[in-house]
Amino acid sequence: MTVPESGRPTRPRLKPRTFLIAGLVLLFTIYSGRQVGFTITTFWEVWSNPLWEKFWPVPWEWVLDRHNVINPLIETFQIAIISTLIGCGLALPISFIISPLTTPNKPTYLVAKGIMNVVRAVPDLFWAKLLVTAVGIGAFAGSWALSIFSLAVMVKLFSETVDSADPRPLEAARAAGGRHTPAVRTGVLPTVFPSYVAYSLYVFELNIRASIVLGLVGAGGIGRVVEAQRQYFRFDRVLGILLIIFVIVIVIEQISVALRKRLV
C-alpha cells in the first residue's frame, strides 16, 4: 500500500535566515581567531615545537615516590574532602533561605540571594590568591578557597531543586499548625535530600579537579608540585603527574556517577 503524496510529511527546509546566521557565526569565529593569533599556522607551530620532546620518557621511579607525588595527592584529597563538607554543610540551610518556596521572609531572601550572587561571581582562583596572600601558602588557604567555591556551586544547584519541590507537603505541614522550620524539615527536606547528597558527590568531584588547579597558585596539594616541576623545566615529571591525575579523576568520576544514579 502506497502513501499518497499529499499524506507524506514534507521535509523541513532551512530558511535563508539560518544560512545567514551560520555565515555570520563562521565569519566572527575566523575574525576572533585572527585577533587572538589562533590560526592553522600557529597551531601547527605549537605542536611541532621541540619542547614536546622533553615530556618523554616519564621518570616513573620519581613519580611513584611517596614523598614526591603520593603525599601531595593525599593532601589534595584532604583539601577536597574538607572543603566539600564545609561548603555543602553551609549550603543546606542557605539553599532553603534563598528559595522562594521555603524562605522565612522577603528581606532575608533578598539579602541572602544578593550575597550568594556576589560570592558566585568571584572566581575560585581569585579566592585562592586572596587567601594565599592573607594566610600564606599551603593547604589551609586552598581548603577555604574551595569551601567558598563549593558553597557557591552547591547553593546554586540545590536551591533550584528546592524551588521545584512539591509545595503540597509543606502547605499541609503549615496547615497543621507547624512552625516554619519544622514544616520545611518535614514537608520539603525528605523529598530533596537525595538530590542534596547527589550534588554533594558532584561538588566533591569538582573539588578534586579544582584543588589541583588552585595548587598552581600556592594553595597546596599536587598542583604545587606540578608548578614547581614546570619552573624547573622537568616536563617529563609533569607528564607523569598529569597521567596519574587523569586516571584518578576518571575513577572518581565513574564512582560518583554510579552513586548519583542510585540516589536520583
Task: Read off the pLDDT of residues 121-151 as tens digits, 9 standing for 90 and up.
Answer: 888 788 888 888 888 787 888 888 889 989 9
The 3 state secondary structure assigned to the chain is CCCCHHHCCCCCCCCHHHHHHHHHHHHHHHHHHHHCCCCHHHHHHHHCCHHHHHHCCCCHHHHCCHHHHHHHHHHHHHHHHHHHHHHHHHHHHHHHHCCCCCCCCHHHHHHHHHHHHHHHHCCHHHHHHHHHHHHCCCHHHHHHHHHHHHHHHHHHHHHHHHHCCCCHHHHHHHHCCCCHHHHHHHHCHHHHHHHHHHHHHHHHHHHHHHHHHHHHHCCCCHHHHHHHHHHCCCHHHHHHHHHHHHHHHHHHHHHHHHHHHHHC
What would be the CATH architecture of the domain defined by 59-263? Orthogonal Bundle (1.10)
What are the residue boundaries of the structural domains of the chain, listed by start? 17-44, 59-263
Average pLDDT of the segment spanning 212-223: 77
Look at residue 248 in the predicted model and tell me its pLDDT.
Answer: 85
Q: Which pTM was predicted?
A: 0.75
For 182-208, how does the pLDDT look when each residue is reduced to its tens digit (9 = 90+)?
777 888 888 888 888 888 988 988 888
